[in-house]
Structure 1
């Protein structure tokens, strides 16, 4: 089986040339367009989640040999969560090669967090089937990059810290409002405001809404507790 120009370009962005191209085609095929003769990526997604989990468990252990299980768990969760998988997918423009049904396409499926995150896990499984765990692990570590080194600093959820700060002072939880969204579908930027009922507010911009909320919460918490 020969891949089309778009999937070959995606292989370049991914950094892996498939010896069994059918695996990549299956990994980018959503259930909304599957048929008796066309497999979707759900089974690969199931496996890819486990491959990613093992690679990340090893990575966080190696990064901090002295960390306790209680410290490791939130770091691991931050690295394997659907939002992170979707962010990585956007960076390699996975959405551009997704094979999705018309209804999904009309509803913006190529930029949906769930579809992108699931497809990213399926691609990981496809690489695992194609070349084995060591190649899949190396690809994961390369694509996740600095996220692994930064996760320790980000492990303490900034939104939780800000909420606890507000509640300790008798205030309602912070309110997060999307102020703006710009950029192409495969690489959007979100600006979010974090605001407390006492009027204190901060805006932050990031590649995902969740990351923007976290950044705004962190900046506001830093300002108030500094």
Structure 2
């Protein structure tokens, strides 16, 4: 059963009271609870709905060529941005986590927050359809779309261009360490360019760690 606080949270999110309680419970439930249904299927759906809603929005704004539009789309639907949106609406306290996942900081994990945010969009799509879900995306992603998210070059692309411009070999990324449980894993990645140096960074996913390592390399050697 949804708590009174969570029902109110979902009503604010969706613009109306949740109709199918089991659907929204599924969207909020992490696999660590041991429940037979968790957010994974709805996350799969919500990811696609979010991508279409943002792609339509960027096309409507009419700025940038295909490459720049793709760059912005990837940034706006990334796990980092989804997690930032989730934190902005205080999603964490409403997620259903197992005891160990909660103790391991799952309530503030980019991975879990981002996934559950997408699952909620999936639940909205199932219950209310695309138009209503697009309205949610436009409200919650407004700051990101009108701001700078995705407008600057991705650090990994910037590092590749730096290497080419300085007649160096392409950057090489290697996983240094993976730590923590699956639901709150931490990845440390090193990036190196032969004859220049190496930088390391840690993130909640391998992709995030690679991005942060590229940023650190450019800060140090760029």
Q: Same fold (TM over 0.5)?
A: yes
* Rounded Cα–Cα distance in structure 2 between residues aligned with 1:21 and 1:89: 21
**C-alpha spacing 1:112/1:76, structure 2 compared with 1 (3 Å):** same
* Rounded Cα–Cα distance in structure 2 between residues aligned with 1:107 and 1:120: 19
RMSD: 3.7
* Rounded Cα–Cα distance in structure 1 between residues aligned with 2:88 and 2:75: 17
1:100 equivalenced with 2:97 (yes/no): yes
Structure 1 runs of 4+ with >6 Å offset: none
Give yes or no for contact 1:41–1:119 (8 Å, CA) kept in 2: yes
1:30 equivalenced with 2:27 (yes/no): no
Aligned to 2:188: none
* Rounded Cα–Cα distance in structure 2 between residues aligned with 1:34 and 1:59: 38
1:73 equivalenced with 2:78 (yes/no): no
Secondary structure in structure 2 of the residue aligned to 1:99: coil
Unaligned runs of 5+ in 2: 172-207
* Rounded Cα–Cα distance in structure 2 between residues aligned with 1:4 and 1:146: 29
Give yes or no for contact 1:18–1:130 (8 Å, CA) kept in 2: no
Number of equivalent positions: 191
Give yes or no for contact 1:56–1:79 (8 Å, CA) kept in 2: yes
**C-alpha spacing 1:35/1:165, structure 2 compared with 1 (3 Å):** closer
Aligned to 2:183: none
TM-score (norm 2): 0.69
* Superposed counterparts of 1:160-171, under 5 Å: 160-161=157-158, 164-165=161-162, 168=165
Aligned to 2:151: 153
